[in-house]
Structure 1
Amino acid sequence: MDGRDFLTVVEGCAVVAGGSAGARGRRAREEALELARRSREAWEQARRWEAAAEAERRVAATLLTLTADGWRLLVDRRWPGTASANVDMILVGRGGVFVVDVKNWRDAPSVGNGRLSAGGRERDGEVAKMLAMARAVEERTAALGMSPVAVQPLMVFAGHRLDESLGRVRLVGREDVLNVLLAAPKRLNAPMVKAVAAYLGEGFPAYETSALPERPSADPGEAESLFDVEEVEKAALESVLHGPIEQWMTFLHPDQVAIARRDWSGPARISGPAGTGKTVVGLHRAAHIATRTTGPIMYVTYVNNLPRVQGRLFQRMAGHLADRVEFTSLHGWAQRLLTGRGIRVNLDRRQADDAFSRAWLQAGRGSALTEVDPLPHYWEQEIHHVIKGRGLTTLEEYRTVSRYGRRTPLQPAHREAVWLLYEEYELLLRRRDVHDFNDVLLMALDELRERPATPSYAAVIVDEVQDLTLTGVRLLHALAGDGPNGLLLIGDGQQAVYPGGFRLGEAGVGIKGRGAVLRVNYRNAAPILDEALRLVSEDPFDDLDGPTPNGHRTVETTYHDGRVVHAAARSESDHDEHLVKALNARAEEEDALASTAVLCRSRNDVEHYHRLLTRAGLPVLRLDNYDGRPADALKIGTYLRAKGLEFKNVYLPAFNARPTTPGGDPTADERAALTRRQTFVAMTRARDVLWLGTIVPER
Structure 2
Amino acid sequence: MAAGGTPGARGRRARDDALTMTRRSNAAYRAAEGWTRDEADRRVLAALAGLTAVGWHLLVDRRLAEPAPPPDAAVILVGPGGVFVVAVRHWADAPSVQDGRLTAGGRWRDGEEAGLLATTLAADDQVGAFGMSPVALRPLMVFAGHRLDTAFGRIRLLGHPDVIHMLVAEPRRLTPPMARAVAAHLAEAFPDLEAVTIEEGGPSGDEAEPGALFETEEVEKAALESLRHAPIERWMTFLHPDQAAVARRDWSGPARISGPAGTGKTVVGLHRAAELAARGTGRILYVTFANNLPLVQKHLFARMAGTFADRVEFSSLHKWAQSFLAGRGVPVRLHADRVDDAFSRAWMAEGRDSVLTEIDPSPSYWREEIDHVIKGRGLASLEEYRDIARHGRRTALQTAHREAAWLLYEEYELLRAERGVHDFNDVLTAALAELERAPADPPYAAVIVDEVQDLPLVGVRLLHALGGDGPNGLLLIGDGQQAVYPGGFRLADAGLGIKGRGAVLRTNYRNAAPILETAMEVVSGDPFDDLEGPSPHGRRAVETTYHDGKVVRVRAGDGADHDRRLVEAIRALAETADGPAALAGAAVLCRSLRDVEDYRRHLTRAGVPVLRLERYDGRPAEAVKIGTYRRAKGLEFKYVFLPRHDAGLPAGDDGDRERAELTRRQLFVAMTRARDLLWLGSVAAEGG
Q: TM-score, normalised by structure 2?
A: 0.90
Map of 1:691 onto structure 2 = 679
Which amino acid in 1 is paired with 2:671? Answer: M
Instruction: Select 1:576's aligned residue among 563, 569, 572.
Output: 563
- Alpha-carbon distance, 1:68 to partner: 1.9
Quick check: 1:181 aligned with 2:167? yes
Map of 2:197 onto structure 1 = 213
Task: Assess, with a 3 A threshold, how the Cα gap between structure 1 residues 245 and 23 changes in structure 2: closer, same or farther.
Answer: closer
Instruction: Select 1:492's aligned residue among 470, 479, 500.
Output: 479
Quick check: 1:673 aligned with 2:673? no
Q: Deviations over 1:576-632 (max 9, x none)?
A: 011000000012232211111111111011001101111111110000101111111
Map of 2:368 onto structure 1 = 381
Map of 2:186 onto structure 1 = 200
How far apart in 1 are the matches of 2:417 and 2:239?
A: 51
Structure 1 contact 95–184 (Cα < 8 Å) conserved: yes
Determine helix, strand or coil for the equivalent of 1:533.
helix
Aligned sequence identity (%): 66
Which amino acid in 1 is paired with 2:410? Answer: E
Map of 1:271 onto structure 2 = 258
Q: CA RMSD in A?
A: 2.4
- Alpha-carbon distance, 1:57 to partner: 2.7
Q: Deviations over 1:185-244 (max 9, x none)?
A: 22111221122112212212356xx6942469xxxxxxxxxxxxxxxxxxxxxxxxx974
How far apart in 2 are the matches of 1:18 and 1:460?
A: 43
Task: Assess, with a 3 A threshold, how the Cα gap between structure 1 residues 18 and 436 changes in structure 2: closer, same or farther.
Answer: farther
Task: Assess, with a 3 A threshold, how the Cα gap between structure 1 residues 632 and 417 changes in structure 2: closer, same or farther.
Answer: same
Quick check: 1:625 aligned with 2:615? yes
How far apart in 2 are the matches of 1:329 and 1:698?
A: 36
Quick check: 1:106 aligned with 2:96? no
Task: Assess, with a 3 A threshold, how the Cα gap between structure 1 residues 111 and 19 changes in structure 2: closer, same or farther.
Answer: farther
Task: Assess, with a 3 A threshold, how the Cα gap between structure 1 residues 510 and 600 changes in structure 2: closer, same or farther.
Answer: same
How far apart in 2 are the matches of 1:78 and 1:202?
A: 16
Instruction: Select 1:505's aligned residue among 492, 499, 522.
Output: 492
- Alpha-carbon distance, 1:24 to partner: 8.4
- Alpha-carbon distance, 1:60 to partner: 2.4
Instruction: Select 1:124's aligned residue among 90, 106, 110.
Output: 110
- Equivalent positions of 1:516-535 (< 5 A) are 516-535=503-522
Determine helix, strand or coil for the equivalent of 2:96.
strand
Map of 2:639 onto structure 1 = 649
How far apart in 2 are the matches of 1:425 and 1:633?
A: 43
Task: Assess, with a 3 A threshold, how the Cα gap between structure 1 residues 163 and 663 changes in structure 2: closer, same or farther.
Answer: closer
Q: Deviations over 1:134-178 (max 9, x none)?
A: 111110011110001100101111111111111111111111111
Task: Assess, with a 3 A threshold, how the Cα gap between structure 1 residues 338 and 518 changes in structure 2: closer, same or farther.
Answer: same
How far apart in 1 are the matches of 2:527 and 2:453?
A: 15
Task: Assess, with a 3 A threshold, how the Cα gap between structure 1 residues 186 and 698 changes in structure 2: closer, same or farther.
Answer: closer
Structure 2 contact 35–60 (Cα < 8 Å) conserved: no
Structure 2 contact 86–139 (Cα < 8 Å) conserved: yes
Task: Assess, with a 3 A threshold, how the Cα gap between structure 1 residues 644 and 211 changes in structure 2: closer, same or farther.
Answer: closer
How far apart in 1 are the matches of 2:195 and 2:335?
A: 71
How far apart in 2 are the matches of 1:282 and 1:371?
A: 44
How far apart in 2 are the matches of 1:662 and 1:478?
A: 39
How far apart in 2 are the matches of 1:631 and 1:421?
A: 47
Q: Deviations over 1:248-288 (max 9, x none)?
A: 21000122122111111111111111111111111111111
Structure 1 contact 529–684 (Cα < 8 Å) conserved: yes
Map of 2:464 onto structure 1 = 477
Map of 2:208 onto structure 1 = none
Task: Assess, with a 3 A threshold, how the Cα gap between structure 1 residues 660 and 37 changes in structure 2: closer, same or farther.
Answer: same
Quick check: 1:169 aligned with 2:155? yes
Structure 1 gap ranges (5+): 1-16, 217-241
Task: Assess, with a 3 A threshold, how the Cα gap between structure 1 residues 324 and 626 changes in structure 2: closer, same or farther.
Answer: same
- More deviation, 57-66/70-79: 70-79
Determine helix, strand or coil for the equivalent of 1:592.
helix
Instruction: Select 2:348's aligned residue among 361, 366, 390.
Output: 361
How far apart in 1 are the matches of 2:163 and 2:469?
A: 43
- Alpha-carbon distance, 1:87 to partner: 3.9
Map of 1:536 onto structure 2 = 523
Structure 1 contact 77–205 (Cα < 8 Å) conserved: no
Task: Assess, with a 3 A threshold, how the Cα gap between structure 1 residues 18 and 120 changes in structure 2: closer, same or farther.
Answer: farther
Task: Assess, with a 3 A threshold, how the Cα gap between structure 1 residues 686 and 77 changes in structure 2: closer, same or farther.
Answer: farther
- Equivalent positions of 1:318-397 (< 5 A) are 318-397=305-384
- Equivalent positions of 1:593-608 (< 5 A) are 593-608=583-598
Instruction: Select 1:464's aligned residue among 445, 448, 451.
Output: 451
Quick check: 1:284 aligned with 2:271? yes
Task: Assess, with a 3 A threshold, how the Cα gap between structure 1 residues 50 and 319 changes in structure 2: closer, same or farther.
Answer: closer
Structure 1 contact 535–658 (Cα < 8 Å) conserved: no
Which amino acid in 2 is paired with 1:200? Answer: L
Quick check: 1:60 aligned with 2:45? yes
Which amino acid in 2 is paired with 1:73? Answer: L
Structure 1 contact 50–211 (Cα < 8 Å) conserved: no
How far apart in 2 are the matches of 1:522 and 1:297?
A: 27
Determine helix, strand or coil for the equivalent of 1:635.
strand
Structure 2 contact 171–230 (Cα < 8 Å) conserved: no
Structure 2 gap ranges (5+): 201-228
Task: Assess, with a 3 A threshold, how the Cα gap between structure 1 residues 379 and 564 changes in structure 2: closer, same or farther.
Answer: same
- Alpha-carbon distance, 1:53 to partner: 3.7
Instruction: Select 1:137's aligned residue among 113, 116, 123.
Output: 123
Instruction: Select 1:427's aligned residue among 414, 424, 428.
Output: 414
- More deviation, 439-448/117-126: 117-126
Task: Assess, with a 3 A threshold, how the Cα gap between structure 1 residues 18 and 243 changes in structure 2: closer, same or farther.
Answer: closer
Map of 1:92 onto structure 2 = 78
Structure 1 contact 571–697 (Cα < 8 Å) conserved: yes
Quick check: 1:637 aligned with 2:621? no
Map of 2:247 onto structure 1 = 260
- Alpha-carbon distance, 1:532 to partner: 0.9
Determine helix, strand or coil for the equivalent of 1:111.
strand
- Alpha-carbon distance, 1:349 to partner: 1.3
How far apart in 2 are the matches of 1:243 and 1:656?
A: 38
How far apart in 2 are the matches of 1:103 and 1:33?
A: 26
How far apart in 2 are the matches of 1:245 and 1:28?
A: 19
Task: Assess, with a 3 A threshold, how the Cα gap between structure 1 residues 61 and 626 changes in structure 2: closer, same or farther.
Answer: same
How far apart in 1 are the matches of 2:81 and 2:198?
A: 19
Determine helix, strand or coil for the equivalent of 1:511.
coil
- More deviation, 645-654/53-62: 53-62
- Alpha-carbon distance, 1:18 to partner: 11
- Equivalent positions of 1:294-313 (< 5 A) are 294-313=281-300
- More deviation, 359-368/587-596: 587-596
How far apart in 1 are the matches of 2:392 and 2:586?
A: 33
How far apart in 1 are the matches of 2:145 and 2:295?
A: 41
Determine helix, strand or coil for the equivalent of 2:664.
helix
How far apart in 2 are the matches of 1:561 and 1:32?
A: 40
Which amino acid in 2 is paired with 1:70? Answer: G
Structure 2 contact 74–119 (Cα < 8 Å) conserved: no
- Alpha-carbon distance, 1:122 to partner: 2.8
- Alpha-carbon distance, 1:19 to partner: 8.9
Which amino acid in 2 is paired with 1:63? Answer: L
Question: Size of the alignment, in residue pairs?
Answer: 649
Determine helix, strand or coil for the equivalent of 1:202.
helix
- Alpha-carbon distance, 1:314 to partner: 0.9
Which amino acid in 1 is paired with 2:657? Answer: D
Which amino acid in 2 is paired with 1:186? Answer: R
Structure 2 contact 257–476 (Cα < 8 Å) conserved: yes
Structure 2 contact 515–551 (Cα < 8 Å) conserved: yes
Structure 2 contact 172–232 (Cα < 8 Å) conserved: no
Quick check: 1:416 aligned with 2:406? no
How far apart in 2 are the matches of 1:538 and 1:215?
A: 67
Task: Assess, with a 3 A threshold, how the Cα gap between structure 1 residues 605 and 78 changes in structure 2: closer, same or farther.
Answer: farther
